[in-house]
Chain A
């Protein structure tokens, strides 16, 4: 939050009479500053260039893609790749990519909502109450977070087939909890701990019941943190390849898995694949822009708390 500088406003006449001290910048400082910019710009290029490269491919015809000297700009654009991606079942490779994006939504949204619904109460209890197994509960979620999913893939595959969760949205939302639930618990705990306990106590003394305290007092105060956490969960869930690859098949697979289908037996269809990649990035990007305000506040708050 900004702190306004209060004080007496200096009149122009007074200021004119002042000999204002000039800060001296040494040559070494100048070089240091310039170097900082060089490093930052280089890193920005390093991060952005692959995405830009992909974006150019999505608008290039096959002949442009396979030239010996690929152009980063000034090439002939075509919408053919996008037509292929949006063609649905009638596409050349037979991939209904819009349907795949829809699958990603149907997996991500429930998995994030479920993680928030299950994880927020756990985080709240860990933040506010003292009990014997508190450390153990915390460690349990931490260990979920650190456990390589590969360890349990085979039993999970067998189990999902047996209890008919294989190839279902519900099954995917559930298995995503391995990633999203620990995130919610571990991050939200810090946000709940930041709320002064007096606020809750005064609400209780003022006459509010538990649920009222939670919905009207606690929840509004953790909204920035919750948004940032939900956003992280969304990214992890949306980008998850392994679970969808293994626990769903065919038309039910999520976008990140379906992208690979543009590697056909006749060759890689770079153009449509790039278009599909961009299409997969867009929803997450839009979400990030939509809740940017919360993410910045949420992530920086968390960063300060450590």
Chain B
């Protein structure tokens, strides 16, 4: 078990293509840390630098107290799980799992005992004699995970392990991987582009974009107070509503106004900062779950028109037109509007404001490289 420390890590390919810029991060001992971002954001490169499969251009990576920059992969005491499984096609499931032990010249008796135990944990006892080509996708990934845990490494590195499984399997593997990590207590860095995966599993999430860390925080942090527009748009399903508008003052109250939408700002901390801003232009973010569609108008509701409708069973997603803006709202399962029907939207006070130029949350300031 070990912590992992990134100190001022840079990765530049061919002396000009920037992959990771000044990454500073500590993954605590026993922590499940997710690296989340779109493809090309530098998350996989960061993971591969920890594994030793990718050189480090500048900075230091430590596993525990040991700087590992110049250590070979096999000297780092890590285990990795790949999106494409990386199983050895000519070896049986048993031999695949036993491989990391065999290369360490561990006695056959001990190998048998440990493979047996691990295959029980990931439920592979019945297919130990099969070959990878005879397995389904979920089984393959479980073999790959078994091979990672059999050695009891200091660190797990998971690179999009379940991204191309089907939805049902993904859901199941999410639970299994999380359970496994918390029972074994092994430090884990988990790379994914799927925010649902990261939110569901990780203790903390690192959001990256274009090689730069955007925000580090618990799933709640990321959901409740996104650091910037990128995080706001990336986290949450359905995605956050983003509306560009202006700040106006009306009867001593600070209001947000856009082409069709007008809301008053009630959060004192936001008012304090927004009042000091010279530029009245501002970007509003509000989660669909904080917009409630109603049939009847209330004192604070805003009139809207139904533009689209998606039933999801437990809840429904209503796409509404408010003036020129198109907003998503989440309703209860009993709300079945017709297209074009006039309705009323009730906004919660949970508004997020982002600077038009820097795209950062006005409450967060800019460029904070947390961690």
> Nearest Cβ distance between residue B161 and chain A, in whole angstroms?
12
> Nearest Cβ distance between residue B96 and chain A, in whole angstroms?
10
Is residue B86 contacting chain A, with contact meaning CB distance below 8 A? Answer: yes
Selected from B72, B86, B99, the residue in CB contact (under 8 A) with A196 is: B86
Is residue A207 contacting chain B, with contact meaning CB distance below 8 A? Answer: yes
A198-B82, A202-B80, A202-B82 as given contacts; A207 in contact with B100, CB under 8 Å: yes
Interface string of B77-96 (1 = CB under 8 A from A): 01110101111111000000
Is residue A1 contacting chain B, with contact meaning CB distance below 8 A? Answer: yes
Q: CA A206 – CA B82 in complex, angstroms?
A: 12
Across the interface, which residues of A come within 8 angstroms of B278, CB to CB? none
Selected from A1, A209, A220, A221, the residue in CB contact (under 8 A) with B74 is: A209
Counting chain B residues whose Cβ lies within 8 A of the other chain, the interface size class is 20 to 34
CB pair B86–A1 under 8 Å, yes or no, is no
Counting chain A residues whose Cβ lies within 8 A of the other chain, the interface size class is 10 to 19
CB pair B87–A206 under 8 Å, yes or no, is no
> Nearest Cβ distance between residue A196 and chain B, in whole angstroms?
6
> Nearest Cβ distance between residue A59 and chain B, in whole angstroms?
46
> Nearest Cβ distance between residue B101 and chain A, in whole angstroms?
9
CB pair A205–B80 under 8 Å, yes or no, is yes
Is residue B339 contacting chain A, with contact meaning CB distance below 8 A? Answer: no
CB pair B73–A221 under 8 Å, yes or no, is no
Interface string of A183-201 (1 = CB under 8 A from B): 0000000000000101101
CB pair B103–A208 under 8 Å, yes or no, is yes
CB pair A208–B82 under 8 Å, yes or no, is no
Is residue B235 contacting chain A, with contact meaning CB distance below 8 A? Answer: no
CB pair A206–B51 under 8 Å, yes or no, is no
A1-B133, A201-B53, A221-B89 as given contacts; A207 in contact with B84, CB under 8 Å: no
User: Which chain B residue lies CB-closest to A220?
Assistant: B90
Is residue A212 contacting chain B, with contact meaning CB distance below 8 A? Answer: yes
Q: CA A203 – CA B104 in complex, angstroms?
A: 12
> Nearest Cβ distance between residue B103 and chain A, in whole angstroms?
4
CB pair A207–B103 under 8 Å, yes or no, is yes
Across the interface, which residues of B come within 8 angstroms of A204, CB to CB? 53, 72-74
Across the interface, which residues of A come within 8 angstroms of B89, CB to CB? 199, 221
User: Which chain B residue lies CB-closest to A219?
Assistant: B90
CB pair B147–A206 under 8 Å, yes or no, is yes
Is residue A87 contacting chain B, with contact meaning CB distance below 8 A? Answer: no
> Nearest Cβ distance between residue B13 and chain A, in whole angstroms?
12
Selected from B87, B88, B90, B104, the residue in CB contact (under 8 A) with A207 is: B104
User: Which chain B residue lies CB-closest to A200?
Assistant: B86
Q: CA A209 – CA B73 in complex, angstroms?
A: 10
Is residue A269 contacting chain B, with contact meaning CB distance below 8 A? Answer: no
Is residue B352 contacting chain A, with contact meaning CB distance below 8 A? Answer: no
CB pair B86–A201 under 8 Å, yes or no, is yes
Is residue B204 contacting chain A, with contact meaning CB distance below 8 A? Answer: no
Q: CA A290 – CA B84 in complex, angstroms?
A: 35
Q: CA A38 – CA B51 in complex, angstroms?
A: 61
CB pair B104–A205 under 8 Å, yes or no, is no
Q: CA A149 – CA B78 in complex, angstroms?
A: 53
CB pair A198–B74 under 8 Å, yes or no, is no
CB pair B86–A202 under 8 Å, yes or no, is yes
Is residue A217 contacting chain B, with contact meaning CB distance below 8 A? Answer: yes
Across the interface, which residues of B come within 8 angstroms of A217, CB to CB? 88
CB pair A221–B90 under 8 Å, yes or no, is yes
Known: A205-B51, A205-B73, A207-B104. 4 other contacts (CB 8 A): A196-B84, A196-B86, A202-B86, A203-B99
In order of increasing CB-CB distance, the 5 nearest A-B pairs are A202-B86, A198-B86, A206-B100, A207-B74, A220-B90
